[in-house]
Amino acid sequence: MNTNQGTINSRKIAIFLIITFILAIVVGSIPALLKLEWQGSTAAVIGVIYMLFPALTAIFVQKVLYHEPVIEPLKVSFKLDKWFALAWILPVLLALAAIPVETLFPGVSYSPDMAGMVERYRDTLTAEQLAEIERSIQQMPVHPVLLAIVSGMIAGITVNALAAFGEELGWRGFLLREFKALGFARASLFIGIIWGLWHAPLILQGHNYPQHPVAGVFMMILFCLLLTPLLNYVTLKAQSVIAAAIMHGTLNGTVGIAIMMVKGGSDLTIGLTGAAGLITLLIANVVLYIATGGYRSIKYSED
């Protein structure tokens, strides 16, 4: 495919997408085939394995099929700068910003004592277990949200970042490079849709949207569409896919903060992956658009 900004290797992209999606469907179908519930260790193990395939496929296509280097072209760089710090902090700010947006929805209220979070476990835990959770919350020396922020940020630059790298080498490393001729806006659009659809096998089993798995597929596509420009921007400014892995990993570690202090709502309305989170991400995108002069200052390479 030729554009006025360069050439896109459609065949190379197609091979990457076909392999990545086949692996996603196969691995993502395992719990359903084995009649396993999407929770606990099943979700954790399958989820981590699932996240590795975009990176493995990117390396296979880049190195094995096309005999091209991986490290430099796919922006695997540990050269730290201020953009790494932004990547680490931004997910926490987004999760916190979603809380006041959530309270604008009917039936959702602010719950600083975390009564709303305890209520969500009422159908799955015994009365004794719920009482123990409430006692634990009351006995904590600091508010649980602060502990969630600290633990989530530590995970975000360690184990979560390692798992997220499995995705980010594929999306922000391989695909962003292959789509660079389209420009920032269109590249973000295509990557966002692809990334969202890639989640479908897990979403249909209850991941992120256990109450609404079918509607959750469309919500996840919107979520990925709105998150992609932010991740792409951090990657390009840092000139490193590692920054994207840190941002992605920290988001995974702190995303629960958005629902800890609200009562009511459903998986389609509250949380960073719910409607409130989509509004929050939309606002962040508007800020990015204005700050970069309509994306005109965003370049694939800083050279």
Per-residue pLDDT of the chain (303 residues), as tens digits, is 655 457 899 999 999 999 999 999 999 999 988 888 888 888 999 999 999 999 999 999 999 999 999 999 999 999 999 999 999 999 999 999 999 999 999 999 999 888 777 777 666 667 776 677 777 777 778 888 999 999 999 999 999 999 999 999 999 999 999 999 999 999 999 999 999 999 999 999 999 999 999 999 999 999 999 999 999 999 999 999 999 999 999 999 999 999 999 999 999 999 999 999 999 999 999 999 999 999 999 999 854
User: 297 in a domain, yes or no?
Assistant: no
User: 224 in a domain, yes or no?
Assistant: yes
Give kind and range of the element (H or E) at residue 109. Answer: strand 109-110
CB 171 within 8 A of CB 54: yes
SS3 category, 263? strand
SS3 category, 39? coil
User: 284 in a domain, yes or no?
Assistant: yes
**Biggest CA-to-CA distance, the chain:** 65
User: 296 in a domain, yes or no?
Assistant: no
CB 230 within 8 A of CB 214: no
DSSP 8-class letter at 181? G
Rg (CA), the chain: 20
Which domain range does residue 270 map to?
A: 2-291
The stretches of the chain forming alpha helices (DSSP H) are 10-28, 30-33, 40-59, 82-102, 115-120, 127-139, 144-156, 159-168, 176-178, 184-198, 200-203, 213-238, 241-254, 257-260, 275-291
b/e burial code for range 88-98 (CB count within 10 A of at least 16 → b): bebbbebbbbb
Q: Residue 65, Cβ neighbours under 10 Å: how many? A: 13
User: 299 in a domain, yes or no?
Assistant: no
Q: What is the pTM of this model?
A: 0.93
User: 52 in a domain, yes or no?
Assistant: yes
User: 134 in a domain, yes or no?
Assistant: yes
User: 301 in a domain, yes or no?
Assistant: no
In the chain, the number of structural domains is: 1
CB 162 within 8 A of CB 249: yes
